[in-house]
Amino acid sequence: MTIGVIGLGYVGLITAVGFASLGNKVIGVDVEKAKIDKINRSEPPIYENGLKEKLKEVNPNLTATTDMSALKNCEIIFICVGTPSRKDGSIDLSYVKKSAEDISEIIRKSDAYRVIVVKSTVVPGTTESLIPILEKSGKKLGKDFGLAMTPEFLREGSALEDFFNPDRIVIGAYDDKSKEAVSKLFKGFGQNKFYTKLKTAEMIKYASNSFLATKISFINEIGNVCKKLDIDTYEVAKGMGMDKRIGREFLNCGIGFGGSCFPKDVRALIAKAEELDEDPKLLKEVMALNDRQPLKKVNLLKKHIPDLKGKTIGVLGLAFKADTDDIRESRAIPIVDALLREGAIIKAHDPQAEENFRKLFPQIAYSSPEEVLNSDAVLILTNWKSFENLNYKGKLVLDGRRVLKAKEADKYEGICW
Ligand code: NAD
């Protein structure tokens, strides 16, 4: 099939590379020229496991461009642009709407039937709200073009692996014709497909992310209590997780969740609920606890070093989680911010995220992990595997992510254990 992908960020690029690797012709469009040039040189614009090799492999099947009209022969067009938070937490749909306007121009000039598929995370009702924009083309939904919504569940760090082996594929479709076209594309992906309505597919994504975020805030709350009782929360999580109704995943207590999805999506669902006159107290507390949790780390540090002014603090890990260069809503941001306000001198290291972090914090030093360990105290904020190979002997280490090797430190304390 010939597939178009609008927005070549984490989701769009993986979608484009994935479908190209399955033998489809893929045309990817993005507004960022530098990103397009990199992709066409088979250089990954983001860090993602295996992406470098895959980009080279799919080169003949993947073209990237800033020219939207290149999508004119595509049978399926995915919208994968960002859906950031507005100041009040509600979702900013301007990039999605702009994409729909651009697609409207494409379908206006052609009589070929095609299906528009929203893959960006959008609040329920959004995909349907694009119908009038798309029909500005003079073409009719159902007859001249189709519409679907397939939420994305990939995890950064293992995004390609998740593309090829997804737990499930949710396909919300406007009508049977749209459903058939999208099913054809996902034909080789096994049995775990769930067909539903457009807005149900949209809600499945929000409910899933909100549930996982709730699990993290839940275990952090339990962890804060365990810490005071001298109980290892990881043992509690292990015991809980043996119950298959609960499951062990997402019960790793620490400094909270970050990334481009959980905080933004929970906030967007809260805003949507409020718009509907609901008061989603549970979700609000999930976010409030997540905002408090990184500051607990600073308080823990001050228990050991009450006055941080002029003290050198080493920070290991800046990405919101291991195996990515993504720092969006990373818990390292409020922690570094608080340390700077206390007058601390910061030396930081991350295997992939320093370039991104430097744009936010140009005033701190970026050093080798060995140099970072040479500080008055070391904070572990991301559990990169390589941190298991460092020598922590003789140091004061405060761990926010459970790096077992760090327990060899002279003084070691975990945030919830
Ligand atoms: P991103 O910011 O990495 O990428 C978005 C891309 O869209 C950027 O490259 C940007 O330049 C481009 N863009 C913006 N407006 C455009 C336009 N009008 N035309 C063409 N390109 C345009 O975002 P992302 O992380 O890939 O997320 C995209 C969507 O997928 C969001 O809704 C997000 O919530 C959702 N999602 C993300 C993840 C994840 O792990 N990153 C997982 C599941 C779902």
Residue nearest atom 20 in ligand 1 by C-alpha distance: 30
In Å, what is the CA distance from 367 to each residue of 310, 312, 353? 18, 13, 12
Instruction: Tell whether the model's pLDDT for residue 277 goes beyond 90.
Output: yes
pLDDT at 141: 98
**pLDDT for the residue 284:** 98
Q: What angle do CA 134, 68, 37 make, to 5 degrees?
A: 150
Q: Whose CA is nearest to atom 9 of ligand 1?
A: 9
Residue 80: active-site member: no
Cα 362 to Cα 45: distance, rounded to the nearest angstrom: 21
pLDDT in tens, 299-358: 999 999 999 999 999 999 999 999 999 999 999 999 999 999 999 999 999 999 999 999
Tell whether ligand 1 has an atom less than 6 A from the beta carbon of residue 10.
yes
User: Which of 66, 94, 152, when mutated, tests ligand 1's pocket best, judged by the most ligand atoms within 8 Å of its CB?
Assistant: 152
- Is the pLDDT at 191 greater than 90, yes or no? no
Contacts of 321 (CB under 8 A, 6+ apart): 156, 157, 258, 259, 382, 383
Protein residue with least CA distance to atom 10, ligand 1 = 7
- Rounded average pLDDT over 201-227: 98
Ligand 1 centroid from CA 226, angstroms = 38
Q: Which domains does the chain have, with CATH numbers?
A: 2-196 (3.40.50.720), 207-414 (3.40.50.720)
Beta bridge partners of 117: 78, 148
Ligand 1 lined by 31 (C-beta under 6 Å): yes
**Tell me, what's the pLDDT at 178?**
98
Residue type for 78, please?
F
Judge contact between 317 and 383, C-beta under 8 A.
Answer: yes
**pLDDT tens for each residue of 120-162:** 999 999 999 999 999 999 999 999 999 999 999 999 999 999 9
Residue 38: phi and psi, rounded to 5, are -60, -50
